[in-house]
Amino acid sequence: MDKLKIAIQKSGRLSEKSLELLRECGIKISKGSQTLKTNSSNFPIEVLFLRDDDIPQYVEQNVADIGILGENEVWEKNRKVETIRKLGFGNCRLSLAIPKDENYTGISYFNNKKVATSYPKILSEFCAENNLYVEIEEISGSVEIAPSIGLAHGIFDIVSTGSTLLMNGLKEVETVTKSEAILIKSENLSHEKQKILEKLLFRIQAVIYSRE
């Protein structure tokens, strides 16, 4: 019998909650710290543990059939995948922030400024919609340090509690969008896999309702 291949984050903010969701769906999964792939003993599913950034590509290419990841990664990667539903965890916002002592005058503040981010596509779309000319400095991590080392005037990054901004002497001035964990699927699933997915979705629905 076919197995539905699901990609989840290997280690990071969404890992535990993704596994917990599957387990609450009654799906038995055993995972060691080095496991990259495992089969459930009681549901036709195979779990692949991957970096969240790679999940959209793998789902587009049918290496995985479905995946759990932050909506922000789907927007940024722009791969051909279908969003099935929001999952109610991993909530955050994507915001612009500047040094706390700067006088913020509205979004035109960012005109002709340098902004550091790991999400250049989402930021450039926001700038285009608002007729802003911003020099986007793409960096892969520790974005919050960019203004204090003179790399950029501001940053565009994920915020949840705001404490990282605070610790780095920054203030959030614009919330561009909000994101949470979502379930995505490949655009071409076999009939058999679609049936397994429907069964899984039915259980996810029940788990999420019971949490509310």
Residue ranges in contact with ligand PRT by CB under 6 A: 9, 12-14, 51-53, 70, 72-73, 90, 92, 157-164, 179
Pairing mode, strands 170-179 and 181-185 = unpaired
In one-letter notation, the amino acid at residue 111 is N
- 3 within 8 A of 46, measured Cβ to Cβ: yes
For the chain, how long is the longest CA-to-CA vector? 62
Nearer to ligand PRT, 176 or 189 (CB): 176
54 lies in the site for Zn ion, by CB under 5 A: no
**Rounded Cα distance, 198 and 67, in Å:** 14
> Which span sits near Zn ion by CB under 5 A: 35-43, 44-52, 111-119, 198-206?
44-52
Please give the structure tokens belonging to residue 212. 């509310």
Nearer to ligand PRT, 139 or 207 (CB): 139
Three-state DSSP class for residue 84: strand
Please give the structure tokens belonging to residue 145. 């340090």
- Kindly tell me which residue out of 21, 29, 50, 52 binds Zn ion, with binding defined by CB under 5 A: 52
Nearer to ligand PRT, 66 or 92 (CB): 92
- In whole angstroms, the minimum distance from the beta carbon of 50 to ligand PRT comes to 7
Nearer to ligand PRT, 152 or 159 (CB): 159
DSSP for residue 143: G
- Kindly tell me which residue out of 2, 53, 137, 180 binds Zn ion, with binding defined by CB under 5 A: 53
102 lies in the site for Zn ion, by CB under 5 A: no
In one-letter notation, the amino acid at residue 77 is K
